[in-house]
A and B are shown apart, each in its own frame.
Chain A
Amino acid sequence: MSGGLNETERLSRQTDEGAQVLKASHDLVVTGTVWPELEGDGETMIINMGPQHPSTHGVLRVMMELDGETVVRAKPVIGYLHTGMEKTGEQLTYVQGCTNVTRMDYASPIANEIVFSMAVEQLLDVEVPERSIWIRMMLAELSRIASHLLFQASNGMDIGAVSMMLYGWREREETLRVLEMITGLRMNHNFVRPGGVAADLPDGWQQAVLELCDKVELGIEDYDTLLTGNPIWIERTVGVGVITTEQALALGVTGPILRSTGFAWDLRKAQPYLAYDKVDFDVIYTQNGDCFDRYRIRLTEIAESIKIVRQCVEMMPPGDYRVQDKKITPPPRERIDQSMEALIHHFKLFTEGFRVPAGETYASVESPRGEVGCYIVSDGTGKPTRMHVRAPSFYNLQSMGPMMEDRLVADAVAVISSVDPILGEVDR
């Protein structure tokens, strides 16, 4: 591993008091160029894995220089799912914007909706009601559960534990059912909007959410029994795809990958947003930075999310689910039947949207994959001048190179899977 410290040195740095004083490594190169010539001794060859390979989670292409079965270099090539969503974001009003961002990270859409709404609310300078904050937080955690369950399913299948695909999907489907009950859609919810959420929680939501928590808890016990002590699983993941804290920080890697290197960094704890400072949960981190640790972290994070969801059910405050600011909130449905003004108000809001004062802001939240950020520049009109999403997968992908080097091709599959990229947000 070029530029990294050896294992003992890294651990000792982590344990002493100045543990967080780390410097980025200086000689780390992510990729080469289009590789005009081979670096090896004439025995190597370049192989493309993807973009249509079943283990590449969509349309990721990884260029690998192979020496026999050993990966000499690897370079992710992206852009196969580029649909110009940031350009689209400039054509949509702030009301419509959520329909766009929710399709970026399609495995955890709520995180994207929240970060977009938070950025717009910062520009508008509005405070959203307490209840909407808690609804957002509960949905974000349900979304995290669904996303990590998806990871458990696909990671299991990629590495050869095919029945994990069925088990993971079983619980994920239950989670999506609850999300559908609350938001109306299984995915791409467009439920969190600037100013609050689209609707109040439906009748009987407590029971549905609590039942789900019990089911998922049983599920992760299953996975734990199935995988954690499994000798084949350990053989395939322990010590595979190792990355150090220095490398991760230099590469802009966030989320479970950063936490797997022994660096306890979670925006929910470090820079609390929504109401994360009012709930009790732990930041999960491990020391080894390998595929097994990333699997363990995501599995344990499901349990932590369940803990937060249970607290949300218990502590859900009463009140309004969206801000009562007529500039950004449409009138209630009943008013539209009674009042011409309300009808015009509704029409204007959904055709032209609302104006946002000129300015720029960056909001960020912890998505299941790491820090998702939204940088919005407004020019005082109803549509943003620039709507940029800092996608965690986009940066996390860069860690593939250092993780794969000098490992076997079979390990490359485990690495791609453990990075857990969502190509929708990589290419946007």
Chain B
Amino acid sequence: MAEPTAVVDEGASEEIHERAERPTPTDEVAAALVAKFVGSIFHDSHGQAVVYADRSQMADIATYLRDEEQFTTCLDVTAVDHLTDAERLAVPGVTPERFELVANFISHARNRRIRVIAQVPTSDTTVPSLTPVYAGVNFAEREVFDLYGIEFVGHPDLTRILMPDDWSGYPLRKDDAPARVPVTFKEDPGPRVDGAA
């Protein structure tokens, strides 16, 4: 998803050209999302409907999915760090950023799923929280905050969930190397000193 400023820079003709090569959504919910939210792009990922959207729209998209499209549950919220990718899936029209926020929704009534992905740049890792819309993503957003350092604005309890409270760094980031913190072992007990006192 292009940043709003980038769209202005490119000029109208290029934007039209870009639109032409975007795939038409084969999924009705994705089509509705693409039509309603400016800048969102449909992608068919192994037969699954995926919509790339601007991160500022995430909460609005979730509200729309819940209230208009009967998507009763947000199954999962997670993130991806693309820092060290050898090769990255190129979706036309999407400006790749380092982090991706991934949310999976399911509609039980319509028996379908949809995945919404938002690009999150290193410079500003804030996204609107989905907790006001789906209470169940509370833990998941805390986990993403804990492991990736992505901040969810409007989350009622944005604290570390898996790591200790005083931990510094975000373990699932690619530049947070494993074994950065050395494992400390207790020293061998020294020889017993008898009659020292």
Residues of chain A touching chain B, judged by Cβ–Cβ distance below 8 Å, are: 20-25, 28-34, 78-79, 82, 84, 86-87, 91, 122-123, 125, 249-254, 263, 265, 270-271, 358-362, 364, 371, 373, 375, 377, 379-381, 385-386, 388, 390, 394-395, 397-398, 427-428
Question: How far is the CB of B186 from the nearest CB of chain A, in Å?
Answer: 20
Binds A, one of B11-19, B21-29, B131-139, B189-197: B131-139
Q: Interface residues of B, CB < 8 Å — how many?
A: 51
Whether A29 contacts B135 in the complex (CB less than 8 A), given A23-B67, A79-B163, A263-B108, comes out as yes
Give the residues from 132 to 188 in chain B that come closer than 8 angstroms, CB to CB, to chain A: 133-140, 143, 147, 156-157, 159-164, 171-172, 178
Checking A122, A251, A359, A427 against B136 with a beta-carbon cut-off of 8 angstroms, the contacting residue is A251
Question: How far is the CB of A104 from the nearest CB of chain B, in Å?
Answer: 13
Residues of chain B within 8 A (CB-CB) of A25 are 135
Of all chain A residues, which has the CB nearest B43? A360
Residues of chain B within 8 A (CB-CB) of A20 are 108-109
Q: Are A252 and B75 in contact (CB under 8 A)?
A: yes
> Can you list 12 contacts pairing A with B, beta carbon distance less than 8 Å?
A29-B135, A86-B147, A250-B73, A252-B75, A360-B45, A360-B50, A360-B80, A361-B48, A381-B86, A390-B75, A395-B75, A398-B136
Q: Are A249 and B108 in contact (CB under 8 A)?
A: yes
Q: Are A380 and B171 in contact (CB under 8 A)?
A: no
Question: How far is the CB of B92 from the nearest CB of chain A, in Å?
Answer: 15
Number of A-B contacts (CB under 8 A): 150
Q: What are the nearest 6 A-B pairs in CB distance?
A: A252-B136, A380-B87, A251-B136, A20-B109, A379-B85, A82-B162
Additional 18 contacts, C-beta under 8 A, given A250-B73, A360-B80, A361-B48: A23-B66, A23-B72, A24-B73, A24-B133, A30-B135, A30-B138, A33-B157, A84-B171, A86-B172, A249-B108, A250-B136, A251-B136, A270-B111, A362-B115, A364-B75, A385-B81, A390-B75, A390-B78
Question: How far is the CB of B72 from the nearest CB of chain A, in Å?
Answer: 4
Instruction: Report the separation of the CA atoms of residues A125 and B46 in the bound assembly, to the nearest whole angstrom.
Output: 8
B104 adjacent to chain A (CB < 8 Å): yes
B61 adjacent to chain A (CB < 8 Å): no
Beta-carbon contacts of B56-99 to A below 8 Å, as 1s and 0s?
A: 00000000001100101111101011101111110000000000
Instruction: Report the separation of the CA atoms of residues A143 and B75 in the bound assembly, to the nearest whole angstrom.
Output: 23
Residues of chain B within 8 A (CB-CB) of A28 are 135
B34 adjacent to chain A (CB < 8 Å): no
Residues of chain B within 8 A (CB-CB) of A251 are 135-136
Q: Are A34 and B75 in contact (CB under 8 A)?
A: no
